[in-house]
Amino acid sequence: AGPSLPTGAGQRPPPAARGRPAMRPYAPWLLLLALSACLAAPARPVYTNHWAVRVLGGPGEAARLASAYGYLNLGQIGNLENYYHFHHSKTMKRSTLSSRGRHNFLRMDPKVQWLQQQEVKRRVKRHVQSDPHLIHFNDPMWSKMWYMHCGDKSKHCRSEMNIPAAWQRGYTGKNVVVTILDDGIETSHPDLIQNYDPLASYDVNDNDCDPSPRYDTSNENKHGTRCAGQVAAKANNSNCIVGIAYNARIGGVRMLDGDVTDVVEAKSLGIRPDYIDIYSASWGPDDDGKTVDGPGELAKQAFEYGIKKGRKGLGSIFVWASGNGGREGDHCSCDGYTNSIYTISISSSTDNGLKPWYLEECASTLATTYSSGAFYEHKIVTTDLRHGCTEGHTGTSVSAPIVTGIIALALEANPLLTWRDVQHLIVKTSRPLHLKADDWKTNGAGRKVSHLYGFGLVNAEAIVMEAKKWKKAPTQHVCIGSSDKTPRDIPAGHTVHTTSVSNACANHYEQRVVYLEHVVVRVTIEHSRRGDLQINLTSPSGTESQLLARRAFDISNEGFKNWEFMTVHCWGEKAEGEWTLKIQDTPSHMRNPERKGKLKEWSLILYGTAEHPYNTTGFHHSRSRMLEISPSKMESSKAVIFQSQMEVVEEEDEYSGPCHPECGDKGCDGPNADQCLNCIHYSLGSVKAGRVCVSSCPSGYFGDNTAKRCRRCQKGCETCTGRGRDQCTSCRRSFYHHQETNTCVMVCPPGFYSDESKAVNGAGCVPECQPGMYFSKGARKCERCHLSCQTCAGPGKEECIQCAKDFHLHEWRCVPACSQGFYAEEVPGLPYKVCTRCDDNCSSCEGSRKNCVKCKEGFSLQNGSCITKTCTDAGKTLCELVKSNKLCERKVFVWLCCQTCLMAG
């Protein structure tokens, strides 16, 4: 007897056992067992066109059988005697169905003892995998930028803001101009000097063109330089950090190092609005929990001018830090800068998704970035005064520049974005993720929002992808409701409710608001202790916004006079309906009960659009007849009503004027396209919404030529040839077109990756190419990278992602050898070396930037260091003491013991 056969396809199943009692059909336990088995079923196997066959008679017999049945015999399988590898070229290379037909003849041949069609098995290498698209920069602080990327050995890092992913899509802030409104920026800093833009700069404090900070022993004026580095520090220059928009132009306005007045602020906000794209501000009124303050009249006018005239009418973009008064119980709705519809107010989260101790809560916050937390948690690295770097940047001052940099990436992707488009993009692409808060809620438009974090963590990649295909938001409408001047007492320990029913200016087309953006409540309140008040607003959709929380340190008796509270929590909701204002007085100290607070006046201002910002296809509702609806196709009760309506119409005077060009041969009831009795081409709409005749169907619909109707495509399809899921020809935003199946998917399947193609069908699922190849959008196939690239994004030598063997990464290019002044450094996690700059005085070095082998002119080489030829020691004994006591860090000792200190590094 031969060896036992392996299990697999080709074995005959055992005959059914006899004499066993039959199982009762539909037994509940059996159904449950079957259901659980279905739920746990693994993915379907994938069969190849290769077979393993056991043949008796040796290699000759195996070759004969292969030839007889149309196979290619690829020889014996390893050392397994009588087992052979057959290949069938006319069978599909991969299929989810096993092959039968002609293969059964081979299976039934008496010389074949066993046969198995080969399945694809998933196997993974059990090593710690690094990111194949890992980006590396030679800037020394790059590894400490935990909030932007995760390297191979990084711990507690966060990459959810997807900034490197936006870079990999080709966006680095090119041609975008940013200015930092602060205490000045160090224009000569080596990480800023290449991107510094004097045209985006001014010194308002001293009325000159140099925004450099005033230096003192405490480095008090470091704030602007730190913020500027976050936005636009140059990448790959062996200095400090990598800016988020590292190819953007960066300027500074020095305006905080002196008396800040309304004139100073107005001047600063109005510096070259046609040249500067983004103004970033990480300052505001005192975060002391008792101040209520905002921009003066001039600053308000500067904001409005920038919004209306800046960027040649597209509107200046103002980014503001939400405030650091959390420990004092401050509320950023008492800050008129972050509370403005014209600013993008940004909050912060720790790396663990927790509320930082300094965070202020309010309904005007739009989104969030990572920042510092407690003293033992991560802080932010950036540029610092005196050409330095710091690992101690903190607070919401961090968050505004991060978002400023991300907006710069979006403006590079689409320079035609308006100031409102940018806010829409942030709302649409930000996500709650792991940010922890008790007040996350879903508003009436289906968006999650929080008073701590706004709409969530910003997502750079999502913003640039959306920006690239964004269509301008519809015109902003402003509906100002009538002011309610009925005085209402606010008794201590009680809550006052007042409502306003708004039609959202439905009768005034240029003011009508259907879909909300910002909502402003303007109030005048008298109160003996302002900090005891809490104010909430509830929208018609039921979304509650906390406009003001109690502030324990606010003992002011000034109340609020025409103060505007703003909320973004109703973004996307319908505006029309009942709005409820709730004011609660909770005394924190003993007060005179006879002195009641009083709501003297309040009004509602609604900002938004008449059309949906993400769907510009609208319908003009017909007030006349509906198109070709047969009563026989309706329910009988509805048909009676319809018939009676038809009779009423017939009693009216018959229309005899001209019809719309799209009307068919049955005439019309008026001159418009929605008054046709039938259509020449297609009718668009429904019985409920009304129908209109159109010459062609809009996006999301296809033309049914038989019924002359525009019918809706499958969800996700932008254009299609039919209603079927596999009849999509292009896809809507956030979907990808799978060309092999003609479907629109939100996530590309294994073996494909999502790509923003310039092809007619937009974003698509592109096949993954083998190492050393890239997918050519023009040829629609994988083509070979440049010989210096191991992986690449295109054919050029500047488009390498990873370098080939024996090549080094040097300033974004893969080169066989580093240029003079650089050495090849091994970087953990990278299979190739990176060219890193030698020490300043070296013209060449080896192994380390400090191990010089050749010096620049004017320096001499001593033990691997380049020292100036005029560098001498004042005395051997003194200098030995200086060296042993580590005093070389002090300038006076460097001067006295120049040679010894340089040798000591």
Q: How many CB atoms lie under 10 A from the CB of residue 133?
A: 12
- Is 848 labeled as catalytic in the residue annotation? no
Tokens (6 digits) for 92: 């599909």
Report which residue type is found at 65.
L
Burial of 140 (0-12, 13-18, 19+ CB in 10 A): middle
| CB-CB contact of 813 with 797 (8 Å) | yes
| CB-CB contact of 297 with 262 (8 Å) | yes
Tokens (6 digits) for 433: 């993720």
Query: Tokens 């303050």 appear where?
Result: 293
| CB-CB contact of 620 with 674 (8 Å) | yes
State the Cα–Cα distance between residues 201 and 742, nearest whole angstrom: 52
Supply angle C-alpha 796, 243, 370, rounded to 5: 125
SS3 640: helix
- Catalytic option among 85, 136, 139, 182: 182
State the Cα–Cα distance between residues 703 and 617, nearest whole angstrom: 16
State the Cα–Cα distance between residues 568 and 483, nearest whole angstrom: 21
Name the pairing type of β-strands 533-538 and 544-548: antiparallel
- Is 218 labeled as catalytic in the residue annotation? no
- Catalytic option among 189, 223, 518, 569: 223
| CB-CB contact of 701 with 692 (8 Å) | no
Q: How many CA atoms lie within 13 A of 126 on its CB side?
A: 0
State the Cα–Cα distance between residues 177 and 413, nearest whole angstrom: 14
Tokens (6 digits) for 693: 């005749």
Tokens (6 digits) for 258: 């002196």
Name the pairing type of β-strands 388-393 and 743-745: unpaired
HEC assignment per residue over 799-829 = HEEEECCCCEEECCEEECCCCCCEEEEECCC
Q: Which string of DSSP letters, residue by residue, matches 771-806?
A: TTEEEETTTTEEEEPPTTEEEESSSSGGGEEEEPTT
State the Cα–Cα distance between residues 42 and 745, nearest whole angstrom: 22
Q: Which string of DSSP letters, residue by residue, matches 29-89?
A: HHHHHHHHHHHT--PPP-EEEEEEEEETTHHHHHHHHHHHTT-EEEEE-TT-TTEEEEE-T
Tokens (6 digits) for 546: 């906390």
What separation in angstroms does the CA of 160 have from each of 7, 193, 458, 609?
Answer: 47, 30, 8, 31
Length of the chain equals: 905
State the Cα–Cα distance between residues 253 and 229, nearest whole angstrom: 15
DSSP 483: P
Q: Which string of DSSP letters, residue by residue, matches 361-379?
A: B-TT--EEEE---STTS--
State the Cα–Cα distance between residues 339 and 587, nearest whole angstrom: 26
- Buried b / exposed e over 803-828, threshold 16 CB at 10 Å, is bbeebbbbeebbbeebeebbbbbebe
State the Cα–Cα distance between residues 821 and 836, nearest whole angstrom: 8
State the Cα–Cα distance between residues 582 and 137, nearest whole angstrom: 53
- Catalytic option among 397, 430, 539, 865: 397
- Is 397 labeled as catalytic in the residue annotation? yes
- Buried b / exposed e over 106-130, threshold 16 CB at 10 Å, is bbeeeebebbbbbeeeeeeeeeeee
Listed in sequence order, the residues at least 6 apart from 690 whose beta carbon sits closer than 8 Å to its beta carbon are 619, 620, 621, 622, 626, 674
Catalytic residues: 182, 223, 397
